Amino acid sequence: MALAGIGLAVGAPFALNSHAAFAGLGGVPLYVFLALAASAALSGLAKAGKLQLIQTALGLRVSFLRTVGITLLADFAFLVSPLGAAGYGVNIGLLQRAGASWSLATTVVSADQALDLAFFATAVPVSLLFAFGPLMQLMPHASAPLVLGVLAGGACLAGVCWLYRQRVAATLDATGRRVRWLHERRARVSRFCRSVGRQWRELVGGPKWRLAALLVLTTQQWLLRYGALWFILRELGYRLPLGFVLAVQAVALHAALWTGVPAGGGTGDIALAAAFANWVPRASIATALVLWRFATLYCPLMLGAASFAALATRGRSALPAATE
């Protein structure tokens, strides 16, 4: 399934209009390909820098080059697995091989995900505000009440869960105490959660400059990744707002990820082609999506494969395995 999904993702831009895609690629300057490859590499380096700061703050000493290799290989695993699930496991496993305990590796990966979530939770609403006009052209007027109703329902559900959170927690706690095997596992999970919580407090309670640097590196990582399509469209002569392009990608790609097919299996490409159809002709969007996949899929896969080879030749880390 993984290979089929990657095959769909790789071939989807060409399937939209292969003749136009190949014809359009022939007229793309070389510097565009170089800029896109550089953006993929710099995005990976920004994420590696973020992880290096987190690891150092938690006392895990790993060379930056090794962190770069772990980052690129984890990104490779994310792209080739359903829901990207293997990316987290590979990241945690490689950190453990570098000397981290299970809880420390989990803290590093969860901190990385929390920073990513903070970026999207901030960037997407801001992008929507600056892209309100184009978005209204995409959304049929008849569906606006439905969308607002779904958002209001989700907000109400979240509010109810928050109000009754203590009662739900008490119920789960009582259930865990009555079932013996569940109680044993609950105690083990509690120890693990306390360890992760302690490491989180160490990370958050650090100097302000480190938190600022983590936010800057996270922003750089995702703007380089999501700004690639905006840059491509501009080079092809279509000046769409950056906020609009970013917001459409965030929605389309996360929806495609939840199909369970690795790298979206081409569903993200189809969604993007449909979203930009009012502004970009079919022939041009086919070329744009091939270039976009070059920056966000082909280059990361090649970098991940190179990282796998580099890490495999180095063997196990000389650092001793940490204990829980």
- Mean pLDDT value of segment 128-132: 71
- Secondary structure element (H or E) that encloses residue 38, with its range: helix 30-57
Checking if the pLDDT of 52 tops 80, the result is yes
Residue 297 DSSP one-character state: I
Q: What is the residue-wise DSSP string for 221-280?
A: HHHHHHHHHHHHHHHTT----HHHHHHHHHHHHHHHHTTSSGGGGGHHHHHHHHHTTTTS
Q: Across the chain, what does the average pLDDT equal?
A: 78
Of 42-56, 154-168, 204-218, which range is least confident? 154-168
- The pLDDT of residue 321: 43
Q: Residue 71's closest CA among 192, 221, 187, 174?
A: 221
Instruction: Give the pLDDT confidence of 138-190 residue by residue, as tens digits.
Output: 655 545 565 566 657 767 877 777 787 777 667 766 665 665 555 555 666 66
Please count the other Cβ atoms lying within 10 Å of the Cβ belonging to residue 308. 16
pLDDT higher at 261 or 1: 261
Residue 321 DSSP one-character state: P
Token output for 288 = 């744009």
Please count the other Cβ atoms lying within 10 Å of the Cβ belonging to residue 254. 13
Cβ within 8 Å of residue 104, ≥6 positions away: 58, 59, 60, 95, 199, 322
- Mean pLDDT value of segment 248-271: 74
Where do the structural domains in the chain lie, given as residue ranges?
Answer: 2-139+208-314
Share above pLDDT 70 across residues of the chain, in percent, rounded to a whole number:
69
> How far is 147 from 151, CA to CA, in rounded Å?
6
> How would residue 195 be classed by pLDDT, with cut points 50, 70 and 90?
low
Chain centroid offset of residue 109 CA: 12
- Mean pLDDT value of segment 236-251: 87
- Secondary structure element (H or E) that encloses residue 315, with its range: none
